[in-house]
Structure 1
Amino acid sequence: MDSLLHIWWVWLCAALVLALVELMVPASVFLGFALGAAVMAVLVALGIISNTSVLLALFAGLSLIAWIGLKLLFKSQSSGARIVTRDINEN
């Protein structure tokens, strides 16, 4: 498994699988991991990092940064119920 982490298309496949899991599971956690895996695919393809432990640590850090960025980007979308203060049937 150690050698699989050094292949760029494995990271790209992981990003696609995580993005599909995000569509099927009602949680907004997996999209950050998918973005982290997509960035890792680029970094592995460029051959910048060769140490496996650094690859995994960088993946964790990039996923966390992507998740925090998504939370900040979509914080204006409220999942709470709308409070109605005026009835539309009253004049």
Structure 2
Amino acid sequence: MDPLWGNGWIWMAGGVVLGIIEVIAPGFFFLGFAIGALLTGLLLLIGLTPGLPVLLLVFALLSLIAWGLVRRLAGKREGQVKIWDRDINDNP
């Protein structure tokens, strides 16, 4: 395997970069990818050594699971949408 993809610290650095992007552009989109990259890096650091296709599959699955959990915990809440029943130009 290519040493760059097999290095857990590279994945963890990528996860930190994606976390910073999430702070700059909030919306819980990049957070799932950041968590997926951090977990993939952690798996590599504890000794998992798959090939690149399996590693990308692990990253994709972990990111999807993390994104789903983040959306469930911090996503749109029921009743969060504001329905306007009066225009600002209406006279009281």
Gaps of 5+ in 1: 85-91
Q: Deviations over 1:16-54 (max 9, x none)?
A: 000000011143210000000110111000122321110
Give 2:52's aligned amino acid. Answer: T
**CA-atom RMSD in angstroms:** 2.3
- Number of equivalenced pairs: 84
Normalised TM-score (structure 2): 0.78
Deviates more, 1:13-22 or 1:72-81: 72-81
Post-superposition, which runs of at least 4 consecutive aligned residues in structure 1 deviate over 6 A?
none
* Separation in 2, partners of 1:38, 1:21: 14
Q: Give aligned-pair identity as a percent.
A: 35
Gaps of 5+ in 2: 86-92
Deviation (angstroms), 1:79: 5.2
Q: 2:28·2:70 contact (CA, 8 Å) conserved in 1?
A: no
Give 1:36's aligned amino acid. Answer: G
